[in-house]
Amino acid sequence: MKNTKIKKNREEKIFPATVVRIIDDHRIVINRGKTHGIKAGTRFLVYKLEEEEVKDPTTGLSLGYLEIVKGTGKVTYVQDRMSTVESDSRGEPTEKRVMKKRSPFFLGPEQEEEEVILSQGDLVPFKEPEIGDKVKPI
């Protein structure tokens, strides 16, 4: 029980991390590395906080700030105090259909043939990543 509390306190001090460089739409650099316990393969959520505080309309109490998700990624390279995170989100499966084929030797009604091929989709870039965006483990 005590180790869990120590780990949680440590994470609270380490996260959220911050995007410090944008390599391209698929790769960013964060200000956390080996000294913070980051390991290759760790998955992160990249987001920005909305500027306006959200309040409960009934009670008027603050609910905090809305997180605008920019994508998810995986650590691909770790240095002492920074890490490279690459997008790991995939697009929707693509669908290919072949329909209504007629044999030239068949004089009857049209024969329908449907073939559906689903692929995993391409890697999706982060949504407009910016220096200062926040990052936390998922």
Its domain, for residue 37, covers 2-90+122-137
Question: What is the mean pLDDT of the segment spanning 69-79?
Answer: 97
Tokens of 51: 């500027």
pLDDT of residue 61: 97
Q: Which residue has the tokens 């068949």?
A: 106
Whether 110 maps to a domain, the answer reads no
Which whole number is the average pLDDT over 26-48?
97
For residue range 11-24, what is the model confidence (pLDDT) as tens digits? 557 899 999 999 99
Residue 35 lies in a domain: yes
Which amino acid, residue 76? T
CATH of the domain at 50: 2.40.10.410
Q: Number of folded domains in the chain?
A: 1
pLDDT at 123: 83
CA–CA separation, 104 vs 125, rounded Å?
46
What pLDDT score does 118 carry? 47
Q: Is residue 128 part of a domain?
A: yes
Is 106 inside a domain boundary? Answer: no
If one compares 91 and 78, the residue with the highest pLDDT of the two is 78
Q: Is 26 left (phi over 0), alpha (psi -120 to 50) or beta?
A: alpha
For 97-115, the pLDDT digits (tens) are 454 455 555 555 555 555 5
**Chain center to CA of 138:** 10
Q: Is residue 10 part of a domain?
A: yes
Query: CA–CA separation, 124 vs 91, rounded Å?
Result: 6
